[in-house]
Amino acid sequence: MLADPRGVAGGSTSRAMGGVRQQFSTAAEVRLAQASIRFFADLGAPLFRQVGYLFVATTEPGVAALEERRELQKSLGVPVERVDPREVTGLFADDVLAAVTCREDGVADPPAVCREVVRRAAELGVDVREGVDAAELGGEALVIAAGPWSREVGGRVGVDLPIRPLCRQLVDTEPVDGLPESLPMVIEAETGFHFRRTPTGGLRLAMGEGVSRWGFETEVDERLVDDWVARLARRYPPAAGIAVARAWAGLYDMTPDAHPILGWVGEGVYAACGFSGHGFMQSPAVGRAAAEEILQGESKLDLSPFRLDRFAGDEVFPETLVL
């Protein structure tokens, strides 16, 4: 049974950036992403467009970090390659010292993908209930997959999940003349500023904030909007002077090490939360692995790095590439 008090795709999924990448800084996160990418590729357009992710570095430390990650990703089988950033028409690259891309990565429509998955599940016999509190339904297993609200749900069934909500903002511009449909997700390695094409031909902008906004408030900070539009004009001059269509904010469900919590956390209680901004892109792998563990007792995918008890000791798996 699938139950969601906010309705299908009514929570953080409806406010997501929509990026799908395999380029992470830890092996555990890379493997989750690898196990998910084929699902997205099979969905195809318009739900997923395999336009790639392009990381550009403008400083020597940035280049070193980029290369260190590239070597890890290549060793795990991710087809990441060094490229000339000037292959992206319109991109300002005079200050770029190095760039890497993975052309298998891309951008998706999170609410539409979510609704499609739920539609397929319903066709297979899953009982889908919207506007229903799953914790009140009973059953053999409760799966906590409530994003930033997961700690609250866990507390109701006697489980303490170290998850905090973090406000993250996004901006969409008006359509940009001549914007290529093949434009990749572009990320500045040092600043974290990144942008992608929207289905309407505009650009979606995002960036980590200098001062983290912890909590459930999702107010738009207009100062960030102005800053990001200025950054866009510099990195992608064809968008200079473009108007903002809308700005909004959503919530990341952050854990102390930016890795998810996956596995049994109590009697009859399974956690699939704490994705720290990566839940949508990792959801195909996690959904399959969770189903295997719940129904068959074990998963083909190694979930040991993501167990809740890792926070009881000194061992952590810090993910540094949180966009």
pLDDT value at residue 4: 62
Cβ–Cβ < 8 Å for 231, 193: yes
pTM as predicted: 0.90
Respond yes or no on whether the N-terminal peptide bond of residue 46 is cis (omega within 30° of 0): yes
pLDDT value at residue 8: 81
* Tens digit of each residue's pLDDT (9 = 90 or more) over 26-51: 999 999 999 999 999 999 999 999 99
Local confidence band at 322 (pLDDT 50, 70, 90 cut-offs): low
Kindly tell me if the per-residue pLDDT of 2 is higher than 70.
no
Residue with the bigger pLDDT between 31 and 313: it is 31
300-320 average pLDDT score: 81
Q: Which CATH architecture has domain 19-108+175-210+233-241?
A: 2-Layer Sandwich (3.30)
* Tens digit of each residue's pLDDT (9 = 90 or more) over 81-113: 999 999 999 999 999 999 999 999 999 999 999
Cβ–Cβ < 8 Å for 256, 234: no
Q: How far apart are CA 65 and CA 286, in angstroms?
A: 28
pLDDT value at residue 313: 67
pLDDT value at residue 34: 94
* Tens digit of each residue's pLDDT (9 = 90 or more) over 158-181: 999 999 999 999 999 999 999 999
Out of 211-215, 227-231, 310-314, pick the least confident: 310-314
In terms of Cα–Cα distance, which of 72, 136, 63 is closest to 95? 63
Name the percent of the chain lying above pLDDT 70.
95
Kindly tell me if the per-residue pLDDT of 22 is higher than 80.
yes
How do the domains of the chain map onto residue ranges?
19-108+175-210+233-241
203-212 average pLDDT score: 94
Q: How far apart are CA 12 and CA 83, in angstroms?
A: 33
Number of other residues whose CB lies within 10 A of the CB of residue 180: 14
Local confidence band at 9 (pLDDT 50, 70, 90 cut-offs): confident
**Sequence-ordered alpha helix ranges (H) in the chain:** 27-43, 60-75, 110-123, 150-156, 222-235, 279-296
Q: Which H helix or E strand runs over 53?
A: strand 53-57
280-307 average pLDDT score: 95
Kindly tell me if the per-residue pLDDT of 320 is higher than 90.
no
Kindly tell me if the per-residue pLDDT of 5 is higher than 70.
no
pLDDT value at residue 12: 86
Q: How far apart are CA 49 and CA 44, in angstroms?
A: 6
309-323 average pLDDT score: 70
